Chain A
Amino acid sequence: MNEITKIETTLKDWETDQEVRWCPGCGDYAILKAVQRTLPQLGSDPKNTCFISGIGCSSRFPYYMETYGFHTIHGRAPAFATGVKLANPDLDVWLVTGDGDGLSIGGNHLMHVLRRNVNMQIMLFNNEIYGLTKGQYSPTSRENTRTPTSPLGSVDRPANPCAFALGAGARFVGRGIDVSKNLPDVLMAAHAHQGAAFIEIFQNCIVYNKDVFDDFAAPKGAELQQLWLEDGEPMLFGNAKKGPVKGLKLVPEKFTFEVVDVEDGDWEAAGVCVHDAKNRALAHMLVELPFGEFPMPLGVIYDDPRPTYESAVIDERRRSIEGKDTSLAKLLAKGQSWTVSGTAQDPQ
C-alpha cells in the first residue's frame, strides 16, 4: 500500500456534528474518545479514513467520526470492508463490531476477513450482551447469565474472541479495556500492523451487563488482575509500590504457565517468561489462560505480519495484465469465429 502522508489534526477534527446516542455512562464513549485521541497521534487523514460497522450499539460508531463511514447490516461489515479495500487499498479502514455482530450473526465473515488477512483494524467491543435489542445473552455471555431469553440462566458455553481470531488465522491479536489509558497504545500497534489486526475491547454495558468485567477492570486491585504484555518484556503484573509483583513462568513439561512471585524485581531469578509477540504458540496459550487463576492478558498478544490479501490480489491483477491485449473488440470476437459476406462463409 502507498504510504499515506501524515497530517496534523486534533481530537476535535474527528468529531461530527451528530448527537451521540449511546446511554449515559456507556463504555462506548470512552472508546470513541480513545480512537479520536489516537488518530491525531497516527497522523491519519480524515478523508482517507473509513469506519465500517455492522449492527448494534458499537456499530453506531461511524456516525460520530468525521471521516467516511458506512453503517452496514448485521454481521456483514467484514465483507463490505473487504470490498472497500480491494477497490481502494489506500483507504485506512477501521472496522467496528460487537460480540453479537462479530461472533454470532457475522462469525463467518469475521473468520474469513482474518483468514484472508485484509489490511484493516478490527475493533470488537465485547460487552457480553445484546444491548440494542434490550439485553439478551450473547455468544460471549458467561454460562448462567440471566437475561430475557435465558430467564433461568444461559446454558451456552461462551466463545473466546481472541482464541477465535487466532484460530481463524489472525496475524495480530490485541486486547484492551474501554476506560484503560493503554487503549490508544493497542490501537496504534494494531494500526502499525500491515494486515487484519484484531482488537478485543472489553466494554461496559451500563444498562444490561453493568460491571461484568469488574473482576479485572475495576481500578481497585487491577494491577494484580491485568497482565499488560509488551514484546520482549517479561510477563509481569502487580505494582511494587502497592504490593507484590508476580510473573508468568512457563512449565514446559505441562505445556502451561504458573504464577510466580518476583522478589526485588529479579524476574529472571523467578523464571518469568519474556513475551514474544511473534510466537504463535505462546499467543494461543495466553488467550486461553483461565481468568481467576491467572490475570487477564492485555495489550499486544500477537503481532507477526504476513503479506496482505489485497497486495496479493493487486499483484495477481498486475501479472495478468502484462503483455495482454485489452481491446474490447478483440475480446468480443475471441474464440473460433467466421465472417458472413453475402452468402459466403469464411471460417477464421
Chain B
Amino acid sequence: MATQAADNPALKSTDGSPDAVVVRFAGDSGDGMQLTGGQFTLSTALAGNDLATFPDFPAEIRAPQGTLFGVSAFQINFGSREISTAGDAPDVLVAMNPAALKTNLDALKPGGLIIADSGEFTQRNLDKAKYDVNPLEDGSLAKWDVLAFDISALTIEAVKDFGLGNKDALRSKNMWTLGLALWMFDRDRQPIVDWLKAKFKSKPEIADANIAALNAGHAYGETAELSGPLKKVTVGPVASEPGLYRTITGAEAVSLGLVAGAQLAGLPMFFGGYPITPASSILHHLARLKEFGVTTFQAEDEIAAICASIGASYAGQLGVTSSSGPGIALKGEAMGLAVMTEMPLVIVNSQRGGPSTGLPTKTEQSDLYQAVYGRNGDAPIPVIAASSPGDVFECAIEACRIAVEYMTPVMLLTDGYIANAAEPWRVPDPSTFEPFKVEFLTENNNPGGKVLPYKRDAKGARPWIKPGTPGLMHRIGGIEKKVDTGNIDYSPENHQEMTDLRKAKIDNIKIKDQGVTLGDEGGKLAVVGWGSTFGPIRRAVDNCRKKGLDVSHIHFRHIWPLPANSGELLRKYERILVPEMNTGQFKTVLRDQLLVDAKPYTKTSGQPFKIAELEAAIEEALA
C-alpha cells in the first residue's frame, strides 16, 4: 500500500464530522461504476442523509478498456444538511485505473483523498492514459492524500473460493470498492447484500462472490485505518419532514407521474416510444407497469411513436410519447397535427447536448426554442420544465392535466441530468391528489343537427369524442377546420378565427402565479432559472444571501405560457440574471414575452453548473 498524506486534508475524521461529503467513483465503462454509485446512493439514503447524484458516462457502451474517453464516473454529494447539487468538487476520488485518475483529478479538492487501484497502474494502462510516469510514484499527487493498493489482487484473493476465472473474479472489483466506501462512511452492508442476492437469484455463486468481495473491502478499511490517511467519516442524518422516503431518479419519477396522471384522468395510458439516450429508461420503466393500465409500444421510429400515441388518444386513451432532442425534431410534424386536431398528448423531452447527435449522455437545456417555437405554422403548445428528479413527478401529473382539460399536446422538459440523477423523495399519498376525470362526449352537442366536434367549452377546449360512440361520427384531420363543424375550410376569415382560437386556448391555460423560490419579492437581483439548474442556483443564491447580498431565486416550471404575474414579479428587481445550460434561450423568451432586461449567464459544456461559478456570476451581476 502506497500512501501519501496531504498537508491540509479536506475530509475531517470522526472527530470533526463534515456536514456534507462529495465522493466520485471513476473507472472504465466496464468497471460497474454506475452500479457502485447507485448502491452507495441507496445505502446513503437509508442512513438518512440528504443527497444528490451525478452519473457521467460515455456514449460508448464498452469503450476500449483503459482509454481516457472510456471513463465512466458517478458523483454523489451527501450530507446532514439540505443537499441541492451533486457538489462542485469531490472530497474523495475513487480511481479504478490511470485514465480515471487523469480525467477526474482536476475536479478533486486540494487535500482530497484519492483511492486508486494500483493493480491497474500497469505500463500498458499508463500508456493508454498518456502518462509518461506513474503518477502514484512521481510525487505529482502531493497536494492530495493518496491511498493506492492493488484492489484487483485483493478482489481475486477475496473470491478465490468461488472457482471463478480471473476475468469473472475481477468483475467483483466494484463491490470490493463499494465495501471499502461503506466502511469509510459507516454504512450498513445488509441492503446491498439483499440487493445482490435478488439480482443474482439464478446465479447464487456470483451473488456469493460479490458479497465476499463487498465484505473483504469493508474489512480492509479496518486494517488500512491503522496505517494511513483513511479515516472513518460520520455524516449524520439530515432533519427531514416525517414520512416515507425512497430514492428516485428522474426517469422513474416521470414514469410514476405519468401513471398517476393517467389514473387521475381516469384513462388507460398509451406510451409510444423509440430507443434514444437518455429517454429510453422511461420506456423501460413503463414497460413493466402494464398492470396499471399502461400499454407501451416500441415503434419503428420516433415519428411512428408519436403518431401511434395520437392514434391512441383519438381512440380515447391518454397518449404519451417521449424522446430526446433529435427524436423530438422528428416528431414535429405530428405535434402540429395534434395541435390542429386538438388532441390530448404528453410529449416528454429528456434533453441532451446538441445540435444533431451532439452529446447523447451529457446534459443541456438547449431544446427550449424547439419546444416553444419549433413547429411549422402557429402551433402553440404548453411547455413545462421539471427542476429535479422528485419535481418531475408533479410536472408529469400537471402535463397530463393540461393535456386532457385543454385538449392539447403538452411538452414536458427534463434533461439527461434529471433523468439519471437520484435524490431522496418523500413518497406522496395518492389520495391527496386532485383528480381531473375525463368526460367524453356521448350525446350530440348540436341537437337536431350534426355533432359539432369543434364546439368549444368555456376554457376553449373542444369535446373529446371516442370512435364507437353512436351518432357522433365525424372526420378530423390536419387541413384547417371550420369553426364548430370541423369540416375542411380554407376561407380567410375561418383560418384567422381558428388560429386565434387555438392561440387563446393555450394563452389562457390556468396556471399558478409564479412565486419567489428563495429570497425576497423584489430587490437588486433576481436569478431566474428553469429546469435542472434548480439545485446549483438555489445553493449559490443561498450562499450569497448568507454573505449579505441582495439576491433572490425565481425558478419557473411553466415556460409556455408564462404565469400571468411573471412580468409584474420580475419588474420588482433591478437586475435579472438567467443562468442556463444553453446560449440564452429562456432569456429570449423572457425578453420577448415580458419586455424585461434579462441578462444571460450560459454554459454549454455538457456539465451542470458549479455553485462557485454561479456565486461568482451573482457577485459580478451585483457589482
- Which B residues touch A62, using CB under 8 A? 475, 477
**10 tightest Cβ-Cβ pairs between the two chains A and B:** A83-B311, A71-B477, A83-B308, A79-B307, A87-B315, A68-B467, A69-B475, A79-B304, A80-B311, A345-B48
- Provide the bound-state CA to CA distance between A279 and B466, in Å: 39
Q: Decide if B300 touches A87 in the complex (CB within 8 Å).
A: no
- Which A residues touch B244, using CB under 8 A? 333, 337-339, 348
- Provide the bound-state CA to CA distance between A50 and B468, in Å: 9
- Provide the bound-state CA to CA distance between A46 and B451, in Å: 15
Instruction: From the candidates A328, A339, A343, name the one contacting B259 in the complex (CB within 8 A).
Output: A328
Residue B246 interfacial (CB < 8 Å): yes
108-143 of chain B: CB within 8 A of chain A: none
- Provide the bound-state CA to CA distance between A52 and B478, in Å: 12
| Complex interface: stretch among A149-157, A297-305, A313-321 | A313-321
Residue B447 interfacial (CB < 8 Å): no
- Provide the bound-state CA to CA distance between A20 and B477, in Å: 16
Q: Decide if B428 touches A332 in the complex (CB within 8 Å).
A: yes
Q: Decide if B303 touches A76 in the complex (CB within 8 Å).
A: yes
Q: Decide if A83 touches B270 in the complex (CB within 8 Å).
A: yes
- Which A residues touch B477, using CB under 8 A? 62-63, 69-72
Q: Decide if A332 touches B487 in the complex (CB within 8 Å).
A: no
Contact with B along A58-95 (1 / 0, CB 8 A): 00001101111111111010111111101110110000
Q: Decide if A345 touches B47 in the complex (CB within 8 Å).
A: yes
A and B contact pairs by CB, cutoff 8 A, 23 listed: A17-B450, A63-B477, A71-B479, A72-B310, A72-B337, A72-B478, A73-B337, A76-B334, A80-B307, A83-B272, A83-B307, A83-B315, A84-B467, A87-B314, A108-B304, A111-B300, A112-B300, A324-B291, A328-B263, A333-B244, A333-B246, A340-B48, A345-B47
Residue A47 interfacial (CB < 8 Å): yes
Contact with A along B299-317 (1 / 0, CB 8 A): 1110111011111111111
Residue A256 interfacial (CB < 8 Å): no
Residue B185 interfacial (CB < 8 Å): no
- Which B residues touch A326, using CB under 8 A? 291-292
- Which A residues touch B299, using CB under 8 A? 79, 112
- Which A residues touch B478, using CB under 8 A? 55, 71-73
446-485 of chain B: CB within 8 A of chain A: 450, 466-479
Shortest CB-to-CB span from B273 to chain A, Å, is 12
Enumerate chain B interface residues (CB-CB to A < 8 A): 42, 45-48, 188, 191, 195, 237, 239-247, 256, 259-260, 263, 268, 270, 272, 289-292, 295, 297, 299-301, 303-305, 307-317, 319, 333-334, 336-337, 341, 427-431, 450, 466-479, 487-488
Main secondary structure of the interface of A (DSSP, over half): mixed
Residue ID in chain A nearest B255 by CB atoms:
A331
Shortest CB-to-CB span from B522 to chain A, Å, is 35
Interface size class for chain A?
35 or more
Q: Decide if B290 touches A317 in the complex (CB within 8 Å).
A: yes
- Which B residues touch A328, using CB under 8 A? 259-260, 263, 292, 430
Q: Decide if A331 touches B308 in the complex (CB within 8 Å).
A: no
- Provide the bound-state CA to CA distance between A240 and B567, in Å: 86
Residue A269 interfacial (CB < 8 Å): no
Shortest CB-to-CB span from A319 to chain B, Å, is 9
Shortest CB-to-CB span from A144 to chain B, Å, is 33
Q: Decide if B473 touches A73 in the complex (CB within 8 Å).
A: no
- Provide the bound-state CA to CA distance between A74 and B336, in Å: 12
Q: Which of A16, A87, A334 has the most CB of B within 10 A?
A: A87
Given A69-B476, A83-B307, A337 and B312 contact (CB-CB distance below 8 Å): no
Instruction: From the candidates B245, B270, B337, B487, name the one contacting A340 in the complex (CB within 8 A).
Output: B245
- Provide the bound-state CA to CA distance between A86 and B269, in Å: 11
Q: Which of A72, A111, A341 has the most CB of B within 10 A?
A: A72
- Which B residues touch A88, using CB under 8 A? 315-316, 466-468
Q: Decide if A83 touches B246 in the complex (CB within 8 Å).
A: no
Residue A281 interfacial (CB < 8 Å): no
Q: Decide if B473 touches A68 in the complex (CB within 8 Å).
A: yes
Q: Decide if B476 touches A71 in the complex (CB within 8 Å).
A: yes
Instruction: From the candidates B243, B256, B292, name the one contacting A339 in the complex (CB within 8 A).
Output: B243
Residue ID in chain A nearest B243 by CB atoms:
A340
Residue A347 interfacial (CB < 8 Å): yes
Q: Decide if A321 touches B467 in the complex (CB within 8 Å).
A: no
- Which A residues touch B45, using CB under 8 A? 338
Given A332-B256, A332-B430, A337-B245, A347 and B475 contact (CB-CB distance below 8 Å): no
Instruction: From the candidates A109, A320, A337, name the one contacting B304 in the complex (CB within 8 A).
Output: A109
- Provide the bound-state CA to CA distance between A144 and B263, in Å: 57
Q: Decide if B314 touches A339 in the complex (CB within 8 Å).
A: no
Given A112-B299, A334-B246, A338-B45, 18 other A-B contacts at CB below 8 A? A47-B467, A48-B468, A62-B475, A70-B314, A73-B333, A73-B337, A79-B300, A80-B307, A83-B311, A83-B313, A86-B308, A87-B311, A87-B316, A109-B303, A321-B291, A340-B240, A341-B242, A342-B242
251-310 of chain A: CB within 8 A of chain B: none
- Which B residues touch A78, using CB under 8 A? 304
Q: Decide if B430 touches A70 in the complex (CB within 8 Å).
A: no
- Provide the bound-state CA to CA distance between A335 and B285, in Å: 13
Q: Decide if B473 touches A47 in the complex (CB within 8 Å).
A: yes
Shortest CB-to-CB span from B149 to chain A, Å, is 31
- Which B residues touch A108, using CB under 8 A? 300-301, 304
Residue A133 interfacial (CB < 8 Å): no
Given A80-B311, A328-B259, A347-B191, A337 and B246 contact (CB-CB distance below 8 Å): yes
- Provide the bound-state CA to CA distance between A108 and B195, in Å: 42
- Which A residues touch B487, using CB under 8 A? 18
Q: Decide if A87 touches B292 in the complex (CB within 8 Å).
A: no
- Which B residues touch A109, using CB under 8 A? 300, 303-304, 307
Residue ID in chain A nearest B467 by CB atoms:
A68
- Which A residues touch B191, using CB under 8 A? 336, 347
Shortest CB-to-CB span from B35 to chain A, Å, is 15
Shortest CB-to-CB span from A30 to chain B, Å, is 21
- Which B residues touch A342, using CB under 8 A? 242
Instruction: From the candidates A16, A87, A112, A329, name the one contacting B475 in the complex (CB within 8 A).
Output: A16
- Which B residues touch A79, using CB under 8 A? 299-300, 303-305, 307-308, 311
- Which B residues touch A340, using CB under 8 A? 48, 240-243, 245
Shortest CB-to-CB span from B241 to chain A, Å, is 7
- Which B residues touch A347, using CB under 8 A? 46, 188, 191
- Provide the bound-state CA to CA distance between A324 and B333, in Å: 39
- Provide the bound-state CA to CA distance between A302 and B336, in Å: 38
Shortest CB-to-CB span from A39 to chain B, Å, is 13
- Which A residues touch B428, using CB under 8 A? 332
Q: Decide if B473 touches A46 in the complex (CB within 8 Å).
A: yes
Q: Which of A325, A328, A343 has the most CB of B within 10 A?
A: A328
Q: Which of A46, A48, A338 has the most CB of B within 10 A?
A: A338
- Which B residues touch A338, using CB under 8 A? 45-46, 48, 244-246
Residue ID in chain B nearest A342 by CB atoms:
B242
Instruction: From the candidates A17, A72, A87, A332, name the one contacting B317 in the complex (CB within 8 A).
Output: A87
Q: Decide if B311 touches A84 in the complex (CB within 8 Å).
A: yes
- Which B residues touch A325, using CB under 8 A? 291
Q: Which of A62, A66, A70, A90 has the most CB of B within 10 A?
A: A70
Q: Decide if A91 touches B259 in the complex (CB within 8 Å).
A: no
- Which B residues touch A72, using CB under 8 A? 307, 310, 337, 477-478
Q: Decide if A86 touches B473 in the complex (CB within 8 Å).
A: no
- Which B residues touch A341, using CB under 8 A? 242
- Which B residues touch A316, using CB under 8 A? 290
Residue ID in chain A nearest B42 by CB atoms:
A336
- Which A residues touch B268, using CB under 8 A? 87
Instruction: From the candidates A65, A80, A335, name the one contacting B314 in the complex (CB within 8 A).
Output: A80
Shortest CB-to-CB span from B620 to chain A, Å, is 39
- Provide the bound-state CA to CA distance between A108 and B305, in Å: 13
122-177 of chain A: CB within 8 A of chain B: none
Q: Decide if B475 touches A63 in the complex (CB within 8 Å).
A: yes
- Provide the bound-state CA to CA distance between A322 and B188, in Å: 36
- Which A residues touch B256, using CB under 8 A? 331-332
- Which B residues touch A90, using CB under 8 A? 468
Residue ID in chain A nearest B272 by CB atoms:
A83
Residue ID in chain B nearest A82 by CB atoms:
B308
